[in-house]
Chain A
Amino acid sequence: MSGRVVVTGAGVICSIGAGVEEFERNLYGGCCGIGPSPLLGDGAIAAEVRNFNPQPWLGNKGIRVLDSSARLLSVAAHMALTATGLQQQEGEGDPDLGLVCGTMFGSVHSITSFDWSGVTDGPNYVNPGEFPNTVINSPAGQAAIKHKLRGVNSTISAGLVSGLYAIHYASEFLRFGRATALLAGGVEELCEESYISFGKVGVISANGRPRPFASDRDGATLGEGSALWMLETAESAEARGAKALLEISGFGAAHDASDINAYRVRGEGATSAIMQALSAAGIGPDEIGCVVAGASGSRAGDEMETHALRNVFGARLERIPVCAPKAAFGEAMGASGALCALTAGLALSRRSLAPTTGFQSSDAGLRLSTEAQDVDGDYALVNCFGCDGNNAALVLKGLN
């Protein structure tokens, strides 16, 4: 086996679109998914999936018991399975088809509601039917039942970088021959608990306009959604005649926290993660054609990313097109890595990097633009850095 892992399709649902086509159209059209959040209420601003109804993709059967994460994930899974012709029909389902899902806060809303019911009504009055939704792997388990996914079913959590870790984890599984095709990416639902969590530590933009890398940025805006790739071994994709769109070339990860809530601004871990990803891909920094940044508008986080990019690319940095798509779909937490990876995949396929919506100016010395930028090169770098010391980077190769 060559050990090559390729992307053969995708599914996505987030504030700027449902399905790859709509996501792509809105991303390149400079749309922004951020606005007042009916779900959070009370004047909160977020990148919410408005009027979300999973029925067109999932039908009505068994939907009522699913929490929002399980619905978002199941919809993205449906899209990716359909796009690749791997949806399981009647019968038991392929035991070599599985799902690897990244998440940060996971089932926090379901578990908090379940406990709240016990606190207010007493433990004998909680609804046992809601207990399964409290486990963190519930969305992945529910999606497996919905879509007959009988292979590995893993949930991965590494905070804000969970989505990239899930892609790496699935790639390793395929390389070790434990599966032939895996859905991999992330999911996160907006909810009161994660909003309060970020709000309490003061990292949410006061006016609800995240301005990644801008000198006047004042924080992130939370988002939600799910993005999944279908990953296959190159051999298995070829054998079944599936077109390989991208290759997972390299992954790097480094932890550098001294506290669970602080960025290491000089970017030691972030730099190391990028260097490892390049090394795993067998390329040097000069071969990177574009960068999809993890920048969310966080004061410290964006500064750290700038340092890391400068450490890796040096003077060439100002010539490399960079996009910070969280300006459009917000900080979608456990789904962010997968949404950014999808953005990078589109850039390689189109040879054009999506604009950074609302971008005005930056003193970071990065080539950001409100227009799409040409991509010169076969490789893209995806960054994902968390405030808990988790840093991850992914290198992708275009195969057109």
Chain B
Amino acid sequence: MTPIGAGRDLFWRNLTAGANGIGPVESFDTAAFPVHIGAEVKNFDPSGYIRGRSPDALGRGSQLAVAAARMALEDSGIDVTKIDRSRAGVSMGTTSGEPGMVERYNDARKAGGLQSVPADILPKYPCNVIPSNIAIEFNLRGPCLIIPTACAAGNYAIGYGFDMIRSGRTDLMLAGGADSFSRITYMGFARLGAIAPERCQPFDKNRKGMVPGEGAAVLVLEPLEAAQARGATIYAEVLGYGVSCDSHHMTAAHPQGDGAIRAMAMALKESGRTTADVDYISAHGTGTPTNDRVEAIAVRTLFGERAPKVPMSSIKSMIGHTMGAASAIEAVACSLAIHTGIIPPTMNFEAPDEGSELDYVPNKARRTDPRIVLNNAYAFGGNNASLCLARVQ
């Protein structure tokens, strides 16, 4: 579920065509804000995805997540009525969970005082309702959690799903991330002066900021042998992941990219690969001046002379920053890049930053047949996570 389309095919067609999912914000009035653009999922009808319950009973984060989970399961060809449900789990990531519940709570409080707040709002706030709603929808009985590590959460959640499969604890994991468009998030980034006024231009010399977005992505993870045995389409293999903490500042990245470097290095080491093996990097690339500079420094430091030869693009130029869903959506993009041989572009790229000249795959998708890719994600709290995906040999 993304601002450029729902479902694997539409998303990928639009992503490789350089589509734009960013436009004027419609879900709330931005008149009082200094900026007005966002990346929203338009015309979303949850009733097509949520069965047996009223979609209104779920917050928007859960609605997006259940929709993505349903599409993922259908795409996988797995019939959940025929599996051992106690060995099927859910691992999701998010930045804000269901912030819409806090907004409704405050709106009700302002309009009619505390007594007028409906009883069912706040119980739907704790972010673990997102994976719980997926588990309920598909009656999955295994482990069920959410990892709210802000804007790197999707990679953490896929990583945990990978661990559960690898340790033999589960046979199937639905793993990904979800976040809904929120005035709170928008207000925060607007006040930090981090939102771009017109468009998102990751790594461009004249980039002016990020663009808040929303979305959800879910990947179906299972043991390789099981997928091969049932003749499944295998998009990619998870080789490993790495995480680290800058332990430096809540919102600003470590200036030399310390944590980012360690996360990438750990992911490669765990995967039994080196920087020489990497064919493509899906950048965190939010479009803010500092974040993109630090990410370029980190890649340059770790990859050395090879850095300019490794294509690295940011799809946030098209779909904005979908927060906790971002690295999950990017993991889908990485998997499809491996599967189709095409890497998505960095749109709105005009001129490189001095000292940060890398191959950002400017403005046009490219056929490069990547076999091994790194998916980077960085977050508030100094959280860094890199996921290594590969074509199955």
Task: Write the residues of chain A forming the contact surface with B, with a CB cutoff of 8 angstroms.
Answer: 93, 95, 98-99, 104-106, 108, 111-112, 114-116, 118-120, 122-124, 126-128, 131-132, 134-138, 140-142, 144-145, 148-159, 162, 165, 169, 172, 175-176, 178, 193-194, 196-198, 200-201, 253-261, 269, 272, 388-390
Q: Across the two chains, which residue of chain A brings its CB closest to B122? A: A197
Chain A residues, Cβ within 8 Å of B89? 253, 255
Q: Are A150 and B247 closer than 8 Å at their CB atoms?
A: yes
Chain B residues within 8 Å of chain A by Cβ, number: 78
Q: Are B34 and A153 closer than 8 Å at their CB atoms?
A: no
Q: Are A158 and B123 closer than 8 Å at their CB atoms?
A: no
Q: Are B381 and A157 closer than 8 Å at their CB atoms?
A: no
Query: In whole angstroms, what is the CA distance A123 to B190 when docked?
Result: 9
Query: In whole angstroms, what is the CA distance A105 to B188 when docked?
Result: 20
Q: Are B147 and A156 closer than 8 Å at their CB atoms?
A: yes
Chain B residues, Cβ within 8 Å of A123? 32-33, 183, 187, 190-191
Task: Write the residues of chain B forming the contact surface with A, with a CB cutoff of 8 angstroms.
Answer: 32-34, 86, 89-90, 94-97, 99, 102-103, 105-107, 109-110, 114, 117, 119-120, 122-129, 132-133, 135-136, 140-150, 156, 160, 163, 166-167, 183-184, 187-192, 242-251, 258-259, 262, 266, 270, 379-383
Query: In whole angstroms, what is the CA distance A136 to B125 when docked?
Result: 12
Measured between C-beta atoms, what is the minimum distance from A179 to chain B in Å? 9
Q: Are B141 and A388 closer than 8 Å at their CB atoms?
A: no
State which of B105, B128, B247, B262 has its C-beta within 8 Å of the C-beta of A388: B128
Query: In whole angstroms, what is the CA distance A268 to B55 when docked?
Result: 27
Q: Are A389 and B135 closer than 8 Å at their CB atoms?
A: yes
Q: Are A255 and B150 closer than 8 Å at their CB atoms?
A: no
Query: In whole angstroms, what is the CA distance A149 to B270 when docked?
Result: 21
Query: In whole angstroms, what is the CA distance A134 to B145 when docked?
Result: 20
Q: Are B146 and A260 closer than 8 Å at their CB atoms?
A: no
Query: In whole angstroms, what is the CA distance A253 to B145 when docked?
Result: 10
State which of B123, B163, B249, B262 has its C-beta within 8 Å of the C-beta of A197: B123
Q: Are B132 and A134 closer than 8 Å at their CB atoms?
A: no
Query: In whole angstroms, what is the CA distance A155 to B105 when docked?
Result: 24
Q: A123-B191, A126-B191, A145-B249 are in contact. Are A390 and B122 (CB under 8 A)?
A: no
Chain A residues, Cβ within 8 Å of B34? 124
Measured between C-beta atoms, what is the minimum distance from B218 to chain A in Å? 16
Q: Are A255 and B143 closer than 8 Å at their CB atoms?
A: yes
Q: A154-B149, A158-B145, A172-B167 are in contact. Are A388 and B132 (CB under 8 A)?
A: yes
**18 sample A-B contacts, Cβ–Cβ < 8 Å, listed by A number:** A93-B247, A95-B244, A105-B125, A131-B251, A132-B380, A132-B381, A137-B150, A141-B380, A150-B246, A150-B262, A152-B244, A155-B147, A194-B122, A201-B123, A254-B142, A260-B136, A389-B144, A390-B128
Q: Across the two chains, which residue of chain B brings its CB closest to A202? A: B119
Chain B residues, Cβ within 8 Å of A128? 188, 191-192
Q: Are B119 and A134 closer than 8 Å at their CB atoms?
A: no
Q: Are A255 and B142 closer than 8 Å at their CB atoms?
A: yes
Q: Are A124 and B32 closer than 8 Å at their CB atoms?
A: yes
Query: In whole angstroms, what is the CA distance A129 to B381 when docked?
Result: 14
